[in-house]
Amino acid sequence: KNEVEQSPQNLTAQEGEFITINCSYSVGISALHWLQQHPGGGIVSLFMLSSGKKKHGRLIATINIQEKHSSLHITASHPRDSAVYICAVTFGNEKLTFGTGTRLTIIP
Amino acid sequence: NAGVTQTPKFQVLKTGQSMTLQCAQDMNHEYMSWYRQDPGMGLRLIHYSVGAGITDQGEVPNGYNVSRSTTEDFPLRLLSAAPSQTSVYFCASSSSGTGRYIQYFGAGTRLSVL
């Protein structure tokens, strides 16, 4: 059974800090997703990647297929980045298996 | 485009009542799915559909029914609500074309079963 593990579960940081959230999975995948869930509950897709690295603004996502590991980085963090960040994987179809999320709080 | 629209946003039911959670998307996406989100657990797939007339079970299908008569709509029916179905429900859709696998989520329905 595939497991998706995220760390840390909770992260509190000061505004401006560099943030790293980690995701590990146990079996081979075709793609990995990073999602953001706002305090109001809405879920937004940030990245989908199957290899290498993607960047969007202050967000960077990397994946190492051999190590079955992905990281989400946030540079120059801001209070508006406070949210739950969710890692999910797919195996060549549209079904996703989700991690339990990392709750990020950025303090001004 | 409105994207994925879920109704209602909040609902309180008594044990044994039935109801339908509505989900509609206007992006002509083939794939639609229902998830539930519970504290301390990741989102879990309830049912999904790869196109009109085609549905299948996900990880936690018991107590729920779905149908897909049109590309746009994918309602989730609770046949006889139980307290264990208290949860936040999300509908999502994705395309089989460009941007395949990227899922677009509705705003969620918060359901309490008393």
Could you tell me which chain B residue has the CA closest to the CA of A96?
A: B45
- Label residue A66 exposed, middle or buried (CB < 10 Å: 0-12, 13-18, 19+): exposed
pLDDT at B103: 87
The average confidence (pLDDT) of chain B is 93
How far CA A77 is from CA of A14, A63, A102, in Å, comes to 8, 21, 15
Residues B102, A48: C-beta atoms closer than 8 Å: yes
Chain A residue numbers with beta carbons less than 8 Å from the beta carbon of B108 are: 41-43
pLDDT at B80: 96
pLDDT at A94: 72
DSSP E strands, chain B: 4-7, 10-13, 19-25, 31-37, 44-51, 54-57, 64-66, 76-78, 87-94, 104-105, 109-113
**A2 vs B: CB within 8 A:** no
Mean pLDDT by 10 residues, chain A (108 residues): 86 98 90 91 90 95 95 97 95 83 96
- Closest CA relative to residue B56, chosen from A94, A92, A27, A32: A94
Q: Is the pLDDT of residue B46 over 70?
A: yes
B10-29: pLDDT as tens digits: 999 999 999 999 999 999 99
**Pair A93, B49: CB distance under 8 Å:** no
**Pair B103, B91: CB distance under 8 Å:** no
Q: How far is it, in rounded angstroms, from Cα B59 to Cα B95?
A: 21
Mutate to test the interface with B, among A9, A50, A96, A102 (most CBs of B within 10 A): A96
Chain A residue numbers with beta carbons less than 8 Å from the beta carbon of B33 are: 94-95
Task: List A residues 46-65 in contact with B (Cβ-Cβ < 8 A).
Answer: 48
Chain B residue numbers with beta carbons less than 8 Å from the beta carbon of A33 are: 101-103
- Label residue B46 exposed, middle or buried (CB < 10 Å: 0-12, 13-18, 19+): buried
- Label residue B4 exposed, middle or buried (CB < 10 Å: 0-12, 13-18, 19+): buried
> pLDDT class for B98, splitting at 50, 70, 90?
low
Structure tokens at B111: 């359901």
- Closest CA relative to residue B99, chosen from A69, A94, A42, A63: A94
Structure tokens at A103: 């709750």
pLDDT at B40: 83
pLDDT at A1: 56
